[in-house]
Structure 1
Amino acid sequence: MAGLITCLSVPFLSYLGLRSLPAQETAPRTIVNLEVIVVDTESKALEALERLKKGEKFSTVAAQMSIDPNAGNGGYVGEAEVASLRPELRAAVESLQP
């Protein structure tokens, strides 16, 4: 019996219009939404953590406590591919349960 050959392609935009080239390798990518709370003291970090453990919304705690420029957005930084994160952050993200 003959084997099944699958051809994958990756579209891209060029000056000639939308084109498609065969993909050399298509690996699954994991994209996550990153949110941060940045504080300047350990006591504030513990307070933020306690509020989160009690069920308060992350965006509320971030908006009220974070000194990060993204605090006004509830701490939302944006989307990122897990593989592109710093090793320590990638390890933390990969240890989380959905």
Structure 2
Amino acid sequence: MTNRRDFIIRLSLGGAVLASGQSIAQSAMVTESDPQSMALGYKADASKADKAKFPKYAAGQSCSNCSLYQGKPGDAAGGCPLFAGKQVAANGWCSAWTKKA
């Protein structure tokens, strides 16, 4: 039989686990129409980057091989500090791309 103190502790821990899971699940994908995306020329498909407007783009560059990308290798999407808690497509690209070390 559990006492009141154990119940409160378990309830608190359970709530913390649910809250952390919910914040991960709520990480929305950034859209190409987002003002920050538009300013950086973000495209969810790197091959569709505007090469005339962003001549820095080169084939093979993508979010997944950018130093800012926070996803794991093989992930379809991951975080990027430029997009405030939103996820970017691993195959995406923006003008802030820098080669991962």
TM-score normalised by the chain length of structure 1? 0.20
Relative contact order (alpha carbons < 8 A, sep ≥ 6): 1 or 2 greater?
Answer: 2
TM-score normalised by the chain length of structure 2? 0.20
